[in-house]
C-alpha cells in the first residue's frame, strides 16, 4: 500500500530546503563579493585572463584569408590537421588504452606504421602518454573521423591550423608562405607570412590590421578574420610555365631563369615564375634562393633596353628612318664601344641597327640626345626608384653613374641595374601606344566591392614612336638580319627584342669573360599587330648549354608557352 506524506513531513522538508537555499545564497554572495573586490581566483588575475582569453580565442578560431587566382581557383588556404597521441595511464579519467594489441592492429590501417611498431610505442613502460612520431602528425580530418569511429579508448587528437598550398610549385617566391608563430602583442599563436604576398599582405590576410584598428577606435573587436585576396595570376598559364621552367632548368642548368607574362593594356601580371624555386608546402629548396627575383634582384638588362633608346630618339626627332650610320665601333671619350660582332655591318640605317642590335647605333643617338637627357629619360621611366609594389624587400636598382662613359653605355643596357618589375613597367610603353602601365598582381579583395583598376603611370613615349619601334621589333623577328629570328612563331605574329648583358665580375672590376657568362633575355609582344600580351624571359649563365645559343635556349620556353596562351584565350 502506498504511504502518503503527512502535513508535518511536508513542513519539515520545506523548512530544510529554505535553510539550504539561504546558506547557498549567502555563500554565493560572499564568493561574488570576493571576485568583485579582489578580481582573483586561485591566484589568477581574472581581468588579465579575461582579456587574454577573449583575444586569444577570437584569433585562434579565425581563418586566414584564402589566396585565389583571378578565376577564383584557390592558391593558398587554411587547413586543419591533427596530431594523434595515446593515453597509457590516466590519473584524471578512465579514458586510456585498454587493449594494446587490438589498438595497434586497428591503427596500423590508418598510420604509416606496422602493427608491431605501434605496439612497441603503446607498451612503453615509462610513459603515461605517447605520440606516434611523424606518422601521427598532419592527420587529415577525414582520417581522424575514421579513427574516431573505431571507438578506441585512450586515442586522442590535438588540432592545429596550418597553411596549405594547392600546388607545391606555383609562383613560390611571389606567393610566399605563412607559418605558425607566437604573437606577443596578441598573446596567441597566429599564422604569419614570411616572404612574398603572404608577408606583404600579412595584416590583411590575417585580419590583424582590422582587429587592431577596431581596438584603437574603441570598436567591438570580438572576432578576427582575414581578408580573401584574388590575384591577377592565371593558374592555367602559371602551372604551364612552371613545367616549362622546370624542364629548361634541369636541362641547361642556368644559375637562374625567370619568366613573366603581362596583360599589356592593364598591367596585370598573369604569370611569374623563377628557378631556383621552392616547394610551398615543405619549403624544400628555399635555401638555394630566398629572393623574389621580380622585385628583389636587379641586373644589367642588356640590349632589350634599346627599344626605349630608339623610341625616345624617334620622339625627339634625332634621326630619320632612312638615315644611316657607320656600324662597327665608336669612340666614347677614352673608350671604344663595339658592336657584338666587333666589325659591324657597314653603313646601315638606325632602324636596321635596332634589328641587328647595334651598340654603335644607340650610342650615336644618345650622343645626339645628350647623356644627361638620356639619364633623365631613364628616371622618368621608373629606373633607380621603387615601383611601390607592396612586396617585401623591393630593390630600387641602380642608376648612379660615376663617369660619363657609363651614362652612354646605358643606352644598350650596361652600366645600370634594373629589376624585372621595373623593366616590365618601362616596356609596356612600346606595346601600349606609349602609355606606361603599373604592374599589378592584386585583382581584388573580398572585403572590397572594387574590381581591378589599371593604373597609367604616364605617357613618356608618343603613340607614333611606340608603333614605329613595335614595327622594328617585328623586323627583328622576321627579317633575315634580325637577332630575334629564334622567336618567330607559327601560331601568332611576334614583335621581339633580345638581350645579351655582361655580368659584373663579383671578385673585381670589369665583367666576366666566359662564353656563357651573360644574362640572356627576350621581351616580346603578341599578337604583334595589336599587342595583348608582353612576355619577358631572362636566364643567367647556363652551365650546360649543349652548344645552343642563349636565344635558342629561351625559345624552348617561349614557343610552347605563347601557343598555350593563345589557345587559352
What residues are labeled active site?
303
Residues 6+ apart with CB under 8 A from 176: 193, 194, 195, 196, 197, 198, 199, 200, 292
| 240 φ, ψ (degrees, to nearest 5) | -65, -40
Per residue, what are the HEC states of 393-429?
Answer: CCCCCECCCCCHHHHHHHHHCCCCEECHHHHHHHHHH
Listed residue (227, 280, 229, 262) closest to 70, CA to CA: 229
348 near 482, Cβ under 8 Å?
no
86 near 130, Cβ under 8 Å?
yes
Chain-centroid distance, C-alpha 242: 13
Q: What is the rounded distance in angstroms from the CA atom of residue 64 to the CA atom of residue 225?
A: 6
Measured between its terminal Cα atoms, the distance across the chain in Å is 92
241 near 257, Cβ under 8 Å?
no
Is the peptide bond between 194 and the residue preceding it cis, with omega within 30 degrees of 0?
Answer: no
Q: What is the rounded distance in angstroms from the CA atom of residue 224 to the CA atom of residue 244?
A: 40
Q: What is the rounded distance in angstroms from the CA atom of residue 30 to the CA atom of residue 101?
A: 53
Chain-centroid distance, C-alpha 547: 34
| Residue 63 DSSP code | P
Give Cα separations from 359 to 66, 325, 362, 363, 372 (angstroms): 48, 12, 6, 6, 18
Q: What is the rounded distance in angstroms from the CA atom of residue 81 to the CA atom of residue 160?
A: 6
Q: What is the rounded distance in angstroms from the CA atom of residue 239 to the CA atom of residue 165?
A: 13
Residues 6+ apart with CB under 8 A from 316: 369
Scan for cell 615543405, then name that residue.
282
In this structure, the strands spanning 74-87 and 67-68 are antiparallel
* 154 CB burial (10 A radius; 0-12, 13-18, 19+): buried
Amino acid at each position: 500500500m502506498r504511504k502518503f506524506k503527512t502535513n508535518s513531513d511536508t513542513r519539515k522538508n520545506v523548512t530544510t530546503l529554505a535553510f539550504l537555499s539561504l546558506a547557498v545564497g549567502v555563500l554565493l554572495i560572499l564568493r561574488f563579493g570576493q571576485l568583485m573586490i579582489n578580481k582573483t581566483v586561485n591566484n589568477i588575475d581574472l581581468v588579465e585572463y579575461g582579456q587574454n582569453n577573449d583575444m586569444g580565442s577570437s584569433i585562434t578560431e579565425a581563418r586566414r584569408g584564402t589566396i585565389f587566382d583571378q578565376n577564383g581557383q584557390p592558391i593558398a588556404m587554411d587547413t586543419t590537421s591533427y596530431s594523434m597521441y595515446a593515453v597509457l595511464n590516466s590519473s584524471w579519467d578512465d579514458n586510456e588504452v585498454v587493449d594494446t594489441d587490438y589498438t595497434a592492429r586497428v591503427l596500423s590501417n590508418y598510420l604509416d606504421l606496422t602493427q608491431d611498431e605501434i605496439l612497441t610505442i603503446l607498451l612503453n613502460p615509462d610513459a603515461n602518454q605517447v605520440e606516434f612520431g611523424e606518422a601521427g602528425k598532419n592527420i587529415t580530418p577525414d582520417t581522424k573521423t575514421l579513427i574516431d569511429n573505431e571507438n578506441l579508448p585512450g586515442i586522442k587528437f590535438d588540432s592545429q591550423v596550418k597553411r596549405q598550398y594547392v600546388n607545391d610549385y606555383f609562383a613560390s617566391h611571389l606567393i610566399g608562405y605563412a607559418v605558425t608563430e607566437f604573437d606577443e602583442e596578441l598573446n596567441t599563436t597566429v599564422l604569419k607570412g614570411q616572404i612574398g604576398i603572404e608577408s606583404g599582405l600579412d595584416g590583411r590576410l590575417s585580419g590583424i590590421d582590422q582587429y587592431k584598428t577596431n581596438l584603437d577606435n574603441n570598436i567591438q573587436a570580438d572576432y578576427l578574420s582575414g581578408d580573401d585576396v584574388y590575384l591577377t595570376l592565371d593558374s592555367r598559364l602559371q602551372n604551364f610555365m612552371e613545367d616549362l621552367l622546370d624542364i629548361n632548368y634541369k636541362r641547361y642548368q642556368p644559375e637562374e631563369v625567370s619568366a613573366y607574362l603581362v596583360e599589356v593594356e592593364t598591367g596585370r601580371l598573369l604569370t611569374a615564375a623563377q628557378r631556383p624555386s621552392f616547394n610551398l608546402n615543405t619549403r624544400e629548396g628555399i635555401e638555394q634562393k630566398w629572393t623574389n627575383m621580380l622585385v628583389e634582384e636587379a641586373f644589367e638588362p642588356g640590349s632589350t633596353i634599346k627599344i626605349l633608346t630608339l623610341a625616345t630618339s624617334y620622339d625627339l626627332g634625332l634621326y630619320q628612318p632612312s638615315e644611316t650610320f657607320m656600324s662597327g665601333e665608336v669612340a666614347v671619350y677614352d673608350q671604344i664601344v663595339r658592336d657584338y660582332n666587333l666589325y659591324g655591318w657597314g653603313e646601315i640605317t638606325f632602324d636596321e641597327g635596332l634589328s641587328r642590335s647595334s651598340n654603335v647605333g644607340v650610342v650615336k643617338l644618345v650622343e645626339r640626345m645628350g647623356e644627361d637627357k638620356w639619364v633623365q629619360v631613364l628616371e622618368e621611366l621608373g629606373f633607380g626608384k621603387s615601383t611601390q609594389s607592396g612586396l617585401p624587400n623591393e630593390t630600387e636598382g641602380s642608376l648612379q653613374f660615376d663617369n660619363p662613359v657609363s651614362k652612354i653605355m646605358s643606352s644598350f643596357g650596361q652600366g645600370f641595374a634594373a629589376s624585372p618589375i621595373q623593366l616590365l613597367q618601362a616596356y609596356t610603353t612600346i606595346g601600349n601606344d606609349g602609355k606606361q602601365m603599373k604592374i599589378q598582381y592584386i585583382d581584388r579583395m573580398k572585403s572590397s566591392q572594387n574590381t581591378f583598376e589599371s593604373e597609367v603611370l604616364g605617357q613618356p613615349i608618343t603613340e607614333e614612336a611606340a608603333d614605329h619601334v613595335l614595327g622594328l621589333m617585328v623586323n627583328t623577328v622576321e627579317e633575315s638580319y634580325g637577332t630575334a629570328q629564334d622567336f618567330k612563331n607559327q601560331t601568332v605574329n611576334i614583335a621581339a627584342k633580345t638581350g645579351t648583358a655582361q655580368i659584373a665580375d663579383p671578385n673585381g672590376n670589369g665583367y666576366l669573360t666566359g662564353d656563357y657568362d651573360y644574362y640572356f633575355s627576350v621581351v616580346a609582344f603578341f599578337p604583334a599587330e595589336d599587342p595583348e600580351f608582353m612576355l619577358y624571359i631572362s636566364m643567367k649563365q647556363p652551365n650546360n648549354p649543349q652548344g645552343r645559343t642563349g636565344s635558342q635556349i629561351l625559345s624552348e620556353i617561349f614557343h610552347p608557352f605563347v601557343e598555350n596562351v593563345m589557345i587559352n584565350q
